[in-house]
Structure 1
Amino acid sequence: MPRGSKAKYTEEQKRKAEHIEDSYEAKGVSKGEAEARAWATVNKQSGGGEKAGGSGQKKSASAKHKARQSSAQRAVKTKHGVPRPDQPLGELTKAELMDKARKQDISGRSKMNKAELVRALSR
């Protein structure tokens, strides 16, 4: 059964939940389960209540999607070691150091820890 106040939901979201709930009930799902599924669907599709909260700013569903997508892309680039040539060796990640060592063909690099890689690359 859904919990909490539905006061932050728009009228459109409330109508949508009611329509979805009616559809589930027509398929033979119990009233409580139908209501829970309906609100879960509305939350999944729209991100929950859309009325302005603290800051008073609203984001559209597409704007939220774009923000999540660009955030994920930045995280992947950072994780996989985008070249940062201006960084001192000690501040690079082990993956970045390993990539530099691979390019310089340093033998035994796969068994080295980060400190050993820094030393080998400094030579």
Structure 2
Amino acid sequence: MPQGDKGKYTDKQKRKAAHIEEGYEDRGVGKDEAERRAWATVNKESGGGKKSGSGRGKPENHASARKGGRKGGASQSAADRSAAAKEGWETRRRRGSA
């Protein structure tokens, strides 16, 4: 099987990759990069192409789907983080615990 051949993937995996790719493109990622990321995500979740044969199936891990569109897991911007640090410093200075 040549590299890049998607023949061993199920229809469900192909649909999932197309949907993920579409989401990346909506967020401004280029076509080739979106396709690469989509198939990487499908491979991570399902362990690659589902080969035929009894007992070969493995459960899927959906951790990447739960992560969603969060960027690096940051919950606040750098400016907000800086403001919080300054506020904390002022509080400690006032209370004399610095």
Per the normalisation by structure 1, the TM-score is 0.44
1:60 equivalenced with 2:58 (yes/no): yes
Superposed CA RMSD: 1.3
Q: Distance in 1 between matches of 2:4 and 2:32?
A: 14
Identity %: 61
Letter in 1 for 2:47: G
Q: Distance in 2 between matches of 1:61 and 1:47?
A: 9
Letter in 1 for 2:34: A
Letter in 1 for 2:41: T
1:1-123 equivalences under 5 Å are: 3-52=3-52, 56-57=53-54, 58-61=56-59
Displaced runs of 4 or more, over 4 A: none
Unaligned 5+ segments in structure 2 are 61-98
Q: Distance in 1 between matches of 2:50 and 2:41?
A: 14
SS of match in other structure, 2:14: helix
Q: How many aligned residue pairs are there? A: 57
Q: Distance in 2 between matches of 1:18 and 1:59?
A: 22
Deviations 1:8-28 (A, max 9, x none): 000000000000000000000
Aligned-residue offset at 1:4:
1.5
Aligned-residue offset at 1:59:
2.0
Q: Which has the higher contact order (CA 8 A, sep 6+)?
A: 2
Letter in 1 for 2:29: V
Letter in 2 for 1:37: R
Unaligned 5+ segments in structure 1 are 63-123
Letter in 2 for 1:41: T
Larger Rg: 1
